Amino acid sequence: MEIRLQGAVGFDIGHSSVKISCFVNGAKHDIIFPSVATPAFTISDENEERRASDETVVVNGKSYFFGKTALIQGGLSCSTGLSENWIETPEYEALMRGGFKKIRALGIEPDDCVIIMGLPTSLHSRQKAALKRLAGECTKGRVLVMPQSLAPYHGMMLDEIGNPSSRHSMESEAWAVVEVGYFTTDIMLMQAGGMWVEKAAGSSRGVALAADALMRSMGEKDVTVDMNEAEQALQTKTIKYFGENLDVSKEVENATSSIVADVLDNSKKLIEPHVRKLDGVIIAGGGAPLVFEEIKAKWPHAVLADNHRFSVSEGMRRYALVTLRLDAMSSFSR
């Protein structure tokens, strides 16, 4: 029997950036662009207009810029999607369609792939059907939706091509995951044998909490900083100030204390009864470096996920390869 599905895609539409990990014909590809979308408009410069066409999609008959084009051309009015109902917005659909457009630009056809997407743990059960339905309007590929906190766990337990890892055992090891995203921090626990612990799963505030605190702090100094600039400053500890790099290390330290306290408090509530008996705690997501040292000081078996910013899309890609392999075995057995 002919097997139509040929590739695996992990598609992480985060509130800060869209990360996509693909594996097709033995080759791995990563895509990343800002999670920004805004209604499109005419650009007078012909060269920039041509570049913008690569990051333009149509949603319900209306054109949208997405990614870097939306960030540059949209200015402060562009959407960052900081709400639980984000997936219901046209901007979210624009990011999804934009991601598929970038996948196709690599010569990969999503219709021929297993595609795994994620949702915050607290929203997964009530939004997974809607997300799968929306994705089904964008591709004919096989779409699955998982709690995004599961992805870093699969990234550790599976190797690059979706086989069981030679360094870890899903059957004998128990791990927790603290995935620090922009809008939410997702927490989960997997006991030995790959058993999900429902009462140890939940979500708390994400990096946006610290970015918002930094914006307020700089505003008190009469320095206006937008959300995207604040997020970058959390990593670089500088902002551009009339041609110079202004050191905001102290302000960043004060801002990040809020997210560290929130993550530690919620992690303690959810996994503290189990954490001593675990093989480790995976700290993943784009905001992982902001909290890693504090968590490791409390739980010495905490580890920073490999390529932490892509840990969700990469883990989903590896699990998609498992699904692809199982589908192939099922097809041959018929």
Domain of 297, CATH number, reads 3.30.420.40
Cα–Cα distance for residue pair 181/322, rounded to 1 Å? 25
* C-alpha distances out from residue 190 to 89, 154, 197, 232, Å: 33, 11, 6, 32
* C-alpha distances out from residue 25 to 83, 108, 140, Å: 37, 10, 19
Q: Examine residue 280 and state whether it is found in any structural domain, yes or no.
A: yes
Q: Examine residue 192 and state whether it is found in any structural domain, yes or no.
A: no
Closest CA to 172 of 198, 191, 159, 156: 191
Cα–Cα distance for residue pair 310/316, rounded to 1 Å? 10
- Give, as one character, the DSSP assignment of residue 177: E
Helix (H) or strand (E) holding 8: strand 7-13
Closest CA to 303 of 200, 181, 155: 155
Query: Residue 221 has what pLDDT?
Result: 92
Q: How many domains does the chain have?
A: 1
Cross-strand bridge partners of residue 190: 175, 196
Q: Examine residue 241 and state whether it is found in any structural domain, yes or no.
A: yes
Residue labelled with tokens 């209306």: 62
Cα–Cα distance for residue pair 84/139, rounded to 1 Å? 24
Cα–Cα distance for residue pair 172/167, rounded to 1 Å? 12
Q: Examine residue 38 and state whether it is found in any structural domain, yes or no.
A: no
Q: Where are the alpha helices (DSSP H) in 160-219?
A: 207-219
Cα–Cα distance for residue pair 17/243, rounded to 1 Å? 27
CA angle 209, 268, 178 (to 5 degrees): 60
Q: Examine residue 79 and state whether it is found in any structural domain, yes or no.
A: no
Q: Where are the alpha helices (DSSP H) in 106-239?
A: 124-136, 150-157, 207-219, 227-236
Q: Examine residue 131 and state whether it is found in any structural domain, yes or no.
A: no
CA angle 30, 34, 40 (to 5 degrees): 120
CA angle 137, 14, 17 (to 5 degrees): 105
Query: Residue 2 has what pLDDT?
Result: 45
Helix (H) or strand (E) holding 191: strand 184-191
Cα torsion 186, 132, 109, 163: sign: positive
Cα–Cα distance for residue pair 58/52, rounded to 1 Å? 13
Query: Residue 78 has what pLDDT?
Result: 56
Cα–Cα distance for residue pair 35/14, rounded to 1 Å? 7
Q: Examine residue 231 and state whether it is found in any structural domain, yes or no.
A: yes
Which residues constitute the domain of residue 252?
203-304
Q: Examine residue 226 and state whether it is found in any structural domain, yes or no.
A: yes
Cα–Cα distance for residue pair 227/249, rounded to 1 Å? 17
Q: What is the pLDDT along the chain (334 residues), one digit of tens a residue?
A: 344 668 999 999 998 899 999 999 889 999 999 999 999 999 999 888 999 999 999 999 999 999 999 998 986 555 566 678 899 999 999 999 999 999 999 999 999 999 999 999 889 999 999 999 999 999 999 999 999 999 999 999 999 999 999 999 999 999 999 999 988 999 999 999 999 999 999 988 899 899 999 999 999 999 999 888 898 899 899 999 999 999 999 999 999 998 888 998 999 899 998 999 999 999 999 999 999 999 999 999 999 999 999 999 999 999 999 998 887 776 555 5
Query: Residue 328 has what pLDDT?
Result: 72
Question: What is the model's pTM?
Answer: 0.91
Query: Residue 325 has what pLDDT?
Result: 87
